Amino acid sequence: MQAKRTNRHMRLISFSGIDGAGKSTQIGRLCVSLASTGMGVRLIRFWDDVATLTRFREAAGHAVFGGETGIGTPSSPINRRDKNVRSWFMTAIRLCLYLADAISLRLLIRQEQRSGADVLIFDRFIYDELANLELQQPAMRAYARAITRMVPKPDISYLLDAEPTAARARKPEYPLEFLDLNRRSFLTLNRCVGALHVIAPMTADAVEREVLKVAIDEFRPVHGSNPASMGPQISGVR
């Protein structure tokens, strides 16, 4: 049985987490599962489709801070210098850029609501930027709350938790110390805004089962679909 398409309410789903947490893998699997029910799915990559002044930001990370460009792999690690650079000057710039990104995100969602898609899936969200801030500071937490109130809240916001050591082994781009700090910042952000569904570190297949379970619970009241109709049957997911 296929889910009946409806545009009365476009669902928003976001995936967040430290680099190497497995977001791309789970996004791909969920897209396939949702599309198999007949729903129209659109994938939005935050850096490519939402973030502002990306060329300037990439150039600054490379030219000013001496960071490497590209995507790190286990066989070819790189050393990025951008969001892991901490200084009062960079924090001030981030506060301005993240505000601009929040406005861009709000406008994009409004535009996509006229696209006819049933589901909008975000590869990273505004939460991933806010987790780069020093959220142990009350002023930064207040800023984070203000920014999250500016943008529509996703129906499901997955936070894929991951052990920093394992994450860096999959995607070696940032120092282990930063990944650990970033992970703790995500968990602090969740306590601050209460918007994220945290999935504990597990195998990719176990994470997929949890992702599908949460999605099925969200979509069942709208589409009236049987859980078995959403992609692979739950019992059949590896």
Summarised one tens digit per residue, pLDDT across range 19-28 is 999 999 999 9
Alpha carbons within 13 A on the beta-carbon side of 122: 30
Provide the 10 A C-beta neighbour count for residue 96.
Answer: 11
The predicted pLDDT at position 238 comes to: 28
Summarised one tens digit per residue, pLDDT across range 151-173 is 999 999 999 999 999 999 999 99
The predicted pLDDT at position 71 comes to: 80
The predicted pLDDT at position 32 comes to: 95
The Cα 105–Cα 51 span in angstroms is: 8
CATH no. for 11-236: 3.40.50.300
Residue 77 is encoded by which pair of tokens? 């690690």
Provide the 10 A C-beta neighbour count for residue 76.
Answer: 9
What residues in the chain have per-residue pLDDT under 70? 1-8, 61-67, 221-238
> Among candidates 15, 11, 34, which has minimal Cα distance to 25?
15
The predicted pLDDT at position 82 comes to: 81
Order of strands across the sheet with 119-123? 41-45, 119-123, 11-16, 156-160, 197-199
| Bridge-based pairing state of the strands 41-45 and 11-16 | unpaired
The Cα 125–Cα 12 span in angstroms is: 11
Q: At what angle do helices 138-150 and 88-112 cross, to 10 degrees?
A: 20
> Among candidates 7, 12, 10, 9, which has minimal Cα distance to 127?
12
| Bridge-based pairing state of the strands 119-123 and 156-160 | unpaired
The predicted pLDDT at position 121 comes to: 98
Q: Give the H or E element holding residue 32.
A: helix 23-35
The predicted pLDDT at position 230 comes to: 54
Q: Are 34 and 231 contacting, i.e. CB atoms less than 8 angstroms apart?
A: yes
| Domain definitions of the chain by residue range | 11-236
The predicted pLDDT at position 62 comes to: 65
The predicted pLDDT at position 76 comes to: 84
Nearest-5° angle of CA 156, CA 167, CA 69? 100
The predicted pLDDT at position 66 comes to: 66
The predicted pLDDT at position 208 comes to: 97
Q: What is the pTM for the complete model shown?
A: 0.87
The Cα 100–Cα 53 span in angstroms is: 9
- Average pLDDT over the chain, rounded to an integer: 86
